[in-house]
Amino acid sequence: MKPGTLSTFLARGAIWGFIVLELIFFSIAGQFFSVSDNAFLDPANMLLLLKQSAPIGIIAMGMTIIMINGNIDLSVGATFALAAVVLLDSMTWPFMAAMGDWAIPLAWTFALLTGAVLGAINGLIVWKTGVDAFIVTLGSMLGFRGLVFMYNGEQPTSHLNWTLVDFAEAQFLGLHTATWFLLGVTAVIWVVMHRTIHGRNAYAIGDNREAAINAGIRVGPHMMRNFVLIGFLAALSAVVFYSESGSVNPNDGQLYELWVITAVVLGGTKLTGGSGSVISTLGGVIAIQLLRKGLGHIGADTETVNLVIGLILIAVLFLDRQLNVKGKEALRT
Amino acid sequence: MADVSDKRPATSETGREDSKMAGLSKASVGTFLAKQGILVAFVLFIIGFTIANPRFIDPDNVLGVVRSSAILGVMALGVTFVVISGNLDLSVGSMMSFSTIVVLDLHDKIGPALAIPAMFAMTLCLGAFIGFLVGYLRLNSLIVTLGMLSAIHGLTLTYSGGQNMDIADKSGTWFSVFGQGEALGIPVPILMFLALAAALGVILAKTPFGRKVYAVGGNGTAATFSGIRRARVVFACYLISAFCVACAGLIQASRSLGSQNTVGQGMELEVLAAVILGGASLLGGSGTIFKTVIGVLILGFIQNGLLLVGLQFYVQYVVTWIIIILAVWLDIAAKRGRLWSPIA
């Protein structure tokens, strides 16, 4: 066995092992402390869990590519909110209202376009100015949030369309619409990362940007495409979520970037870029949602979740450094 | 420099950029702009807003702006140390909520004279924990402080049980002096901000410790080889940051004498924006306390100026966005000698 094989295996499988541990723990603890009569492993409960992880999960898929690139995007929460506002507000425009249910695909298109354009703005700035993505998206996190407020003041934007609600609450083969979107996005991004040149370039750029440039990869446009993608996915997440809820507050989506990054890091993606996997990110997303639901199930206060997730994130970082040979160098600041 | 003259025709698409590039190619002007550009921008802002509304430089208004920026400013001072040492601190917002809630709670239980040191001790413990993780265990500071942001938020909520914290007897306590008091006609928060800025500015610029902070952030390996204990310096930087957060929490608590659990939420990024605006590089090794103070004041005055010219509160977010990007862009453009990024 080559050195590092075991540690790589452990690092890859760790998130799924963690999920299994969580399931066992909450099932057993649920017997004693549960505040509800249902078992934690109740299928309906698990299906609901998948549905609830969709908003964070869909964005996390985009964040995985961004972080494999060695970048980061802090503006996804604000993009999420702006796309939601556009989605709900556009359906009340007179010409849209006159179209009946045909307004729905158009409103979706507007919202998704909004996300893609916001992502393109980020990407273009990163590409053309060479300012670090952390600073660029830190700025646009404020800026996009400002746009949300300028759009509709501090009022919530609401519009309920029952066709849309029915669609969002529908179940196909037992899974909710949102779950299908999450799985679909995961599958598409997996194909992109492992079966296309774009995916290969993403790893190459994150691993060694200089080498990638020398190998003839056009790094700037590549990164810009990824920012467009994550903007699009943030909007898609908003579309899926707000089709059902029908009302958005201007503060919605705040701290989403932190949840998303937590999920991606739990899934084993390195901040320094060059490694990471979409499937593990899905694991990270599910692990977080399990923790939230599980702690609620055994009657812990919701506030405990923040404490536990923060400490787990740090513990994972520590264990990862101990287990993963490559991580030992990469994670040193 | 040959590179600059080669690329200039390609990059000068408009007259304005042309003049900028011409300025950059003249070493002295370029260096001045790179070093003091933020100061120039600050002066231009003040002049612009004053023309738009003369009330802008009214002493009362100026004092008001500085006073409301003091909490953000005090936190930014500590974060400046952390950023110069090459790390990040995203936990200051939730840590500030924590210290505010703790001091308000203890105020009624053990009295203000004991509550304040107790709160400082607890906040410093949190800072020491982060410093231990980042300094001694060498974990990535972004993830550690991201985790601590969430963890401390949870800790605060657990501590308060999710309730708002209020002081029972709001008029009969001397505790309000830190946030509402005045000395020599100047509000106490401003005095605290200035005193801390002066003290930390001297520590950073004039002491061996300050030089070690720059050395660790500039080139950690070289610093280690020259005998600097990197871990200890990073640890100290997080302690300083926690101390500043405790001061900010004290001002916040004393100003309102009651608080929500989420009072500092989102401030970590505003603080970072102020520090970056002041010209500190996220890669570490550069930045000064003075420039951070300028960064804080710019954010405060923009907010105030936009309100005075009749724009809504949230327009400042968009303006701040543009200013941050422009400031950092021009800063690195001056360093690399060309406006546009070289990545293909």
Task: List the domain boundaries for chain A.
Answer: 5-330
What is the pairing mode between strands B182-183 and A157-158? unpaired
The answer to whether A23 faces chain B, any CB pair under 8 Å, is: no
* Chain pair A-B, CB pairs under 8 angstroms: 174
Spatial distance between the Cα atoms of B185 and B175, rounded to a whole number of angstroms? 19
- In A89-118, the residues whose Cβ lies within 8 Å of chain B are none
- Please tell us whether the domain made up of A5-330 is placed in CATH 2.60.40: no
Cβ-based contacts of B311 with chain A (< 8 Å): none
Distance from CA of A272 to the nearest CA of B (A): 10
Closest chain B residue to A304 measured between Cα atoms?
B154
User: B9: pLDDT confidence band, cut at 50, 70 and 90?
Assistant: very low
Confidence of residue B5 (pLDDT cuts 50, 70, 90): very low
Instruction: For chain A, give the mean pLDDT.
Output: 84
Q: Is the pLDDT of residue B234 over 80?
A: yes
Q: Which residue in chain A is spatially nearest to B327 when comparing CA positions?
A: A131
Flag whether pLDDT at A64 surpasses 70.
yes
Q: What does pTM read for this prediction?
A: 0.83
Work out the average pLDDT over B94-101. Answer: 93
pLDDT confidence band for A328 (50 / 70 / 90): very low
Q: Do B146 and A141 make contact, defined as CB atoms within 8 angstroms? A: no
B219: phi then psi, degrees, rounded to nearest 5: -155, 95
Distance (Å) from the alpha carbon of B158 to chain A's nearest alpha carbon: 6
pLDDT at A168 over 80: no
Contact residues, chain B, for A321 at CB < 8 Å: 138-139
Chain A positions touching B314 (Cβ under 8 A) are 145-146, 149-150
- Please indicate whether, in this complex, the C-beta atoms of B343 and A331 are within 8 angstroms of each other: no
Partners of A221 on chain B (C-beta within 8 Å) are 344
Place B194 in a pLDDT band, splitting at 50, 70 and 90. very high
Residue range B34-336, CATH number: 1.10.3470
Pick from B323, B316, B255: nearest CA to B295: B323
Separation of alpha carbons B139 and A8, rounded Å: 19
Q: What SS3 class is residue B187? A: strand
**Chain B interface, best mutation among A69, A213, A313, A314, by max B CB count within 10 A:** A314
Asked if pLDDT for residue A6 goes beyond 60, the answer is no
**pLDDT tens per residue, range B284-334:** 888 899 989 988 998 888 888 888 887 887 888 888 888 888 888 887 887
Of B146, B265, B266, Cβ closest to residue A313: B146
Give the model confidence (pLDDT) of A113-149 as tens digits.
999 999 999 999 999 888 888 889 988 988 999 999 9
Whole-angstrom Cα Rg for chain B: 21
Whether the predicted pLDDT of A187 surpasses 90: yes
Question: Is pLDDT above 50 for A104?
Answer: yes
Does A261 sit within 8 Å of B312, measured CB to CB? no
| Strand B182-183 versus strand B186-187 pairing type | antiparallel
> Is A138 within 8 Å of chain B by CB?
yes
Q: Of A136, A145, A307, which has the smallest distance from its Cβ to B325's Cβ?
A: A136
Helix (H, G, I), strand (E, B) or coil at B313: coil
Q: Tell me the nearest-neighbour CA distance from B202 into chain A, angstroms.
A: 27
Question: Is A220 close to B333, i.e. CB distance below 8 A?
Answer: no
Q: What is the pLDDT of residue B232?
A: 92
Q: Domain map of chain B by residue range?
A: 34-336
In tens, the pLDDT along A217-249 reads 899 899 999 999 999 999 999 999 988 888 888
Closest residue in chain B to residue A266, using alpha carbons only = B143
What is the DSSP annotation of A278-330? Answer: HHHHHHHHHHHHHHHHHHHHTT--HHHHHHHHHHHHHHHHHHHHHH-HHHHHH
**Mean pLDDT of the region A140-162:** 85
> How far, in Å, CA of A327 to CA of A10, rounded?
13
For residues A257-279, give the mean pLDDT: 86
List phi, psi (to 5°) of B97.
-55, -45
Contact A135 B328 (CB under 8 A): yes
Q: B340 and A145: CB-CB below 8 Å?
A: no
Q: Which of A131-145, B8-22, B97-111, B226-240 has the lowest mean pLDDT?
A: B8-22
